[in-house]
């Protein structure tokens, strides 16, 4: 028989220390998480994706910009391609709009309808949007096109995740 038998007192001590440690960790983890959360959030908010578009080539005429990024889904990695319509507004600010129609999700084109020039046109059900993405009343879409947050790094356009349109005042 082993000489290192655990006494009842030692057993209780080990057990209570273990349970106490576990409880302390459960209480501390949310606090630690709360303290470092802003750091984690800043990193998550920083995931802009590089396009191939040079910003000084952009004009007031919307152009289609395709960009690709790697998406990791569990163990599966795939390339995802998205599109933005990008131009400079009267103030020279960059505007990047999602092409996904707010009616049923078709893809809109700039000047896609010869009877409605200087508008985004959705060919599926003749949806129309103003240049800033605002849906034209009387056409199927009930909301404006989403917009992408933009960043410029070394003269190249970077785009964030689509968000509710920020260009309609
Ligand atoms: S999906 Fe665009 S108008 Fe219907």
Q: Which residues line ligand 1 (CB under 6 A)?
A: 101, 103-104, 106, 122, 124-125, 127, 140-141
Tracing tokens 């006494």 back to the chain, one arrives at 7
Joined tokens for residue 112 = 């896609």
Q: Which residues of 87-108 are buried (b: 16+ CB within 10 A; e: fewer)?
A: bbeeeeebbbbbbbbbbeeeeb
| 129-151 pLDDT tens trace | 999 999 999 999 999 999 999 99
Q: Is 2.102.10.10 the CATH classification of the domain at 49-159?
A: yes
Domain ranges of the chain: 1-41, 49-159
CB 121 within 8 A of CB 85: no
Give pLDDT, residue 71.
Answer: 86
CA 123 – ligand 1 centroid, Å: 7
Report how far residue 15's alpha carbon sits from residue 81's, in angstroms, rounded to the nearest whole number. Answer: 55
Q: What is the mean pLDDT of the chain?
A: 86
């Amino acid at each position: 028989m082993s000489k290192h038998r655990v006494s009842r007192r030692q057993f209780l001590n080990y057990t209570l220390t273990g349970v106490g440690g576990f409880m302390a960790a459960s209480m501390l983890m949310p606090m630690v998480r709360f303290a470092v959360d802003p750091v984690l959030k800043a990193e998550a908010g920083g995931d802009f994706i590089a396009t191939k578009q040079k910003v000084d080539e952009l004009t007031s005429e919307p152009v289609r910009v395709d960009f690709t990024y790697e998406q990791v889904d569990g163990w599966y990695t795939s390339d995802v391609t998205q599109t933005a319509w990008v131009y400079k507004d009267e103030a020279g600010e960059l505007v990047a709009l999602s092409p996904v129609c707010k009616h049923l999700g078709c893809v809109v084109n700039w000047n896609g309808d010869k009877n409605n020039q200087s508008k985004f046109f959705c060919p599926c059900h003749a949806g129309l949007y103003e240049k800033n993405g605002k849906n034209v009343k009387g056409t199927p879409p009930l909301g404006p096109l989403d917009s992408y947050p933009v960043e410029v790094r070394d003269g190249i356009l970077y785009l964030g995740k689509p968000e509710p349109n920020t260009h309609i005042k």
